[in-house]
Amino acid sequence: MFNKNEKEERKYLEKIKQNLLNEINNTEGNINSHSKDIQEYKDYLWENRAGMDHAEKVSMRQSIWQTALTGESAAAKKRRLQKLLSSPYFGRIDFTEEGSNERIPVYIGIHSFFDFSQNTNLIHDWRAPVSGLFYDFELGEASFESPSGIIAGVINIKRQYRIRQGKMEFMIESSLNIHDDILQQELSRATDEKMKDIVATIQRDQNKIIRNDTSHALIIQGVAGSGKTSIALHRVAYLLYKYKETISSKDILIISPNKVFADYISNVLPELGEEKIVETGMEELGRQLLDKKYRFQTFFDQVARVIEGKDRDFICRISFKASHELVNKLNRYVIYIENELFVPNDLKVGRYYVPYTFIAQKYQAFSRVPLLKRFSVMAGQVAEFLRTTHKSELNAADVNKIEADIKKMLKISNLRDLYKNFYNWLNEPGLYKNTRGGLEYSDVYPMIYLKIRLEGIITNDKVKHLLIDEMQDYTPVQYAVLSRIFPCKKTILGDTNQSVNPYSSSSATDIEKVLINADQVRLLKSYRSTFEITNFAQNISRNDELIPVERHGEEPVVKGFTKKEAEIEEIKKIIGNFRNSAYNSMGIICKTQKQADNLFAVLKDHTAGVYLLNTESVAFINGVIITTAHMSKGLEFDQVTVPFVSESNYNTETDKKMLYIACTRAMHKLSITYDAKLSGFINNDT
């Protein structure tokens, strides 16, 4: 048997590290050689610039470009090798193929390492087909799908290692609980400023999602702490590995809730050896789709107003615009515009008249052309009519004027006015309201959808895979727009229980109604929080399908005070205790931004190293962070304090969602403070 015990494994690790060092040195030599070649090419080009013809210069520049590409490839290889040197592998299986007596050891790491001197693959990439055996099977019969078909056999050995800075900290021998043992240790660790890869602890159900390459749209409904974002990013890494000939990182787009979250997850793909992917938000995308012509309220502003709960008309407006019926109504409204709002008239062009019957006939003839694009086609037909009937030649300016005159036959031609008139057509003019900040956020995507229907759609074919996080915060009309703009494959993830606006949210089932060919998977096991914290959060907003991980810790603490000042003093004390702990991050998560701002103003002069996280923030850092439940979505902290949990502050359905989100950010420790009367969402049994 190959490397029978831990002593032999440690000796083998040193051998692998030496092989890696040798390859790093070889690669370093290649990089230096390429750099030298490029400089020589440039020197030659400069010294002979006067005597070289154009073809020679082009050839020389191509040589420089090709050498630079080769050098970049060598530099990327060096980075991968250096990462492997710190932690070459995390798992091993011995596999005996059916019909063979040869037991083949397969070491699995974050990247592959092929030793050309031995002509063998010493380390297999975690995404390789054979590596799937490690995640999907225990000892005994097993199989994996290779490019040549299904390969069956037997797993004889299964081991897992923790190797850091080139040192083996421990090795766990084959057992049914091998993943759980490592997982418990990883979950017990303090947080980092960036989300980390989870290749060493991927669970079987997670691996199935990661390696799913058949679904056109995959909807991941995952409970709080189920690792859905990390899984989605690992799925992207897997697709980039399997389809590296046809897709690269620059072909992928992620829609994330805010800049802080985008920064928090930005390290995962580079850790897995892939380039960072482009990130945007629904607001930024909305501005682009509206050609930056319209100002509008942000989603954060909308949520803040919903939390206030004082404007029922506002809630009615956003609820209507989050309904499935809205898209159907907009489609019927477009038919109404085409049939009722365009009135053909006689058209005077110079000294000639074009009869309204000709205009009407062309209007109908090009009914398949989007309405606001149709006028240009009709103008061309009018010009052709005048050319053939009156031998009149028109220039571009004349044709443009004809188009403008035909457009005037549409009773309403401005996009915003057409959208506003939609609610008059519904006999519900109160559902549209102008604000000093521009459009209400709930109007942005309905107006974009109307624009697409009237002007036609320009698909973004550069994006080959779209990843949408916090799916529950987007409405059916937003998904209708996304499906038209991005016809590519999609990974969509979120949790219905974590909607920050219950009046304007979507479930996985809602999304499936828009994305007809979508497949849905569910992640029910929660890994982030201890059993005690998960149980506490469950009593706030119960999900009977959620399965808490069996990792135990302190019971959440609920403390009440008669005065707000005493509550603030308790928060200062909690911060002091945190600073003396082994934890890296503490979140103080308020319900509203105003509460967070006020608390920060009180604490910043008395407690050093306290930071405010708001919509203007661009990065997540360790330490004491004061923020809101909305901004904290997707983030996690070693320790969380939720202040001001009084009955007067947390009493609506929206408040309950915010409280649930805040509590489920805690990994190891949770405390609740309040003054006067405790919120009814937390009872004496929690």
Q: Is the pLDDT of residue 367 over 70?
A: yes
Mean pLDDT over 382-406 rounds to 91
Alpha carbon 165 to chain centroid, angstroms: 31
Q: Is the pLDDT of residue 684 over 70?
A: no
Task: Please write the tens of the pLDDT for every residue from 492-514.
Answer: 999 988 998 888 889 888 999 99
Which bin fits 297, alpha (ψ -120 to 50), beta or left (φ > 0)?
beta
**Residue in the structure block whose two tokens are 């809101």:** 628
The pLDDT of residue 343 is 96
List all residues 6 or more positions away from 498 whose beta carbon is below 8 Å from its beta carbon: 224, 470, 472, 633, 657, 660, 661, 664
Rounded Cα distance between 479 and 494, Å, is: 14
Q: Which pLDDT band holds residue 609 (cuts at 50, 70, 90)?
A: confident
Average pLDDT, the chain: 90
**Residue in the structure block whose two tokens are 């087909």:** 129
Q: Is the pLDDT of residue 26 over 60?
A: yes
The pLDDT of residue 116 is 81
Whose CA is closest to 445, among 473, 426, 425, 470? 473
Residue 684 CA: distances (Å) to CA of 336, 534, 539, 664: 58, 16, 10, 19
Residue 340: count of CB within 10 angstroms of its CB? 10
Alpha carbon 234 to chain centroid, angstroms: 12
Cβ(452)–Cβ(421) below 8 Å: no
* The two three-digit tokens of residue 173, written as one number: 């021998």
Task: Please write the tens of the pLDDT for every residue from 214-244.
Answer: 999 999 999 999 999 999 999 999 999 999 9
The strand ranges marked E within 282-401 are 347-349, 352-354
* The two three-digit tokens of residue 492, written as one number: 């969509």
Alpha carbon 8 to chain centroid, angstroms: 43
Q: Is the pLDDT of residue 675 over 50?
A: yes
Q: Is the pLDDT of residue 437 over 90?
A: no
Report which of residues 610 and 48 the model is more confident about: 610
- Tell me the one-letter amino acid at 262: A
The pLDDT of residue 521 is 95
What's the predicted TM-score (pTM) here? 0.88
Rounded Cα distance between 323 and 505, Å, is: 9
Q: Is the pLDDT of residue 71 over 70?
A: no
Q: Which pLDDT band holds residue 686 (cuts at 50, 70, 90)?
A: very low
Task: Please write the tens of the pLDDT for every residue from 324-357.
Answer: 999 999 999 999 999 999 999 999 998 889 999 9
Mean pLDDT over 53-65 rounds to 64
The pLDDT of residue 4 is 82
- Tell me the one-letter amino acid at 553: G
Q: Which pLDDT band holds residue 191 (cuts at 50, 70, 90)?
A: confident
**Exposed, middle or buried: residue 152 (CB in 10 Å: 0-12, 13-18, 19+)?**
exposed
Beta partners for residue 183, in sequence order: none
Q: Is the pLDDT of residue 177 over 60?
A: no
Task: Please write the tens of the pLDDT for every residue from 454-497.
Answer: 999 889 999 999 999 999 999 999 999 999 999 999 999 999 88
The strand ranges marked E within 187-305 are 217-222, 252-255, 278-280
Cβ(454)–Cβ(482) below 8 Å: no
